[in-house]
Amino acid sequence: MSLATRYLGFELANPFIASASPLTGKLDSLKGLEDAGAAAVVLPSVFEEQLRREREAIDTFTALNSDMLTEAQSFFPDPSLYERESHRTLGLIRSARASLDIPVIASLNGVSPDGWILFAKELVDAGAQAIELNLYHIGSDPAVCGQEIEARHEQVVRSVRQAVNVPVAVKLGPWFSSFANMAHRITEAGADALVLFNRFYLPEINPEDLTLQRTLHLSDSEDLLLPMSWIAMLRPHLTADLALTGGLHRPLDAVKALMAGANAVMTTAALLKNGPRHLITLREGLEQWMNAKGYANLDELIGCMSRDRVPNPDLFERTNYMKLLDSWPMQ
């Protein structure tokens, strides 16, 4: 029985990747994830806004003292007293590369065209073996049309692909007017893999004190259906790797995602709920299921239920909608 797969050019021992979360933000827990069988790890996202604010604050502080006499340089505080976010992030990449035998993927959530390129280069220089571009954008400006947003995303991918010499994955949300076309354009721009799907974390309204509150609802297995269906529909048309994220909690969830056509599966919520050793449960459960069904390796499983290989492909589209409505029992 072989669970080996390929993702972003890496030969992975199994398809399970620990995606970005607090568990991938510390070296000790990264080691625990590797020991439990994670085939690769995605480090927590680097946000351009945080890094730019940090650098602007340092520049402002330095400028305040620029007119002092050279003899007064001792007034400057020791830079080592300040633990900068960028230092922690780049230090984690270096430590992870030195300590882990599995691929270390850095996640970048940028804003400006130059920011994507600048910080992607810094992550690679620190030792990231691949970059995951987290294209998290909410199109709330009515003056900006969908074509403009899509063109920006496409240009970001193209620019980063040209700027770095490591594989590039792109994590997308599903909310495009034509997601299949957008997926094709992103891969044409240079993405080596697509990660489906990004989750939008929206605020909750507190009606008592009239405030907005942050909310975090972890996924469950029901959330698997959307990325699984899109992977099954995209698999026949894309040569790029596909990774599913969101809703993977049980071994059977992994089976479905791989059958749809995912090269790798990512999990966060299940590990936060159950701990890193839940990876053992997922891996052993997948292996047992494949043994029971007579699959010798993962290549036989991946894509066997993609849209071009099922007897009723219309169920991925409008036919499913119509038949479900017709099948509802009347009282």
Judged by DSSP in three states, 195 sits in strand
Q: Both ends of the chain: CA-CA distance in Å?
A: 50
Paired residues of 232 in beta bridges: none
| pLDDT at 17 (0 to 100) | 98
Task: Tell me the C-alpha to C-alpha distance, in Å, between residue 155 and each of 22, 180, 222.
Answer: 30, 18, 33
Q: Is the pLDDT of residue 58 over 70?
A: no
Q: What is the Cα–Cα distance from 216 to 234, expressed in whole angstroms?
A: 29
- For 148-198, the pLDDT digits (tens) are 999 999 999 999 999 999 999 999 999 898 999 999 999 999 999 999 998
The topology (CATH level 3) of 5-326 is: TIM Barrel (3.20.20)
**DSSP secondary structure string, 134-170?**
E-------TTS-HHHHHHHHHHHHHHHHHH-SS-EEE
Residue 151: the pLDDT is 94
**Among residues 258, 248, 284, which one has the least CA distance to residue 21?**
248
The pLDDT, as a whole number, for residue 59 is 47
* Nearest residue to 231 via CA among 301, 300, 307: 307
Candidates 40, 48, 91; CA nearest to 266 is 40
Token duo for residue 181: 């076309």
CB atoms within 10 A of CB 78: 6
State the number of CA atoms in the 13 A half-sphere of 290 facing the CB: 23
β-pair type (264-267, 241-245): parallel
- Map out the domains of the chain as residue ranges: 5-326
Look at 124 and 74; give whichever has higher pLDDT: 124
Distance CA 216, CA 227 (A): 20
Distance CA 230, CA 318 (A): 14
Residue 12: predicted pLDDT: 98
Q: Do 169 and 191 form a contact (C-beta atoms < 8 A)?
A: yes
**Which amino acid, one-letter code, is at 25?**
G
pLDDT tens-place string over residues 245-284: 999 999 999 999 999 999 999 999 999 999 999 999 999 9
Residue with more model confidence, 203 or 229: 229
**For residue 197, cis peptide bond before it (omega within 30 degrees of 0):** yes
Least confident of 65-74, 191-200, 229-238, 314-323: 65-74
Q: Look at residue 248 and give its three-state secondary structure.
A: coil
Of 208, 216, 196, 209, which is closest to residue 132 (Cα–Cα)?
Answer: 196
d(CA 227, CA 257): 8
Tell me whether strands 46-47 and 104-109 are parallel, antiparallel or unpaired.
parallel
Contact 290, 258 (CB under 8 A): no
What is the pLDDT, as a whole number, of residue 82?
46
Site of tokens 């495009």: 176
Q: What is the mean pLDDT of the chain?
A: 88
- Widest Cα–Cα separation across the chain: 89
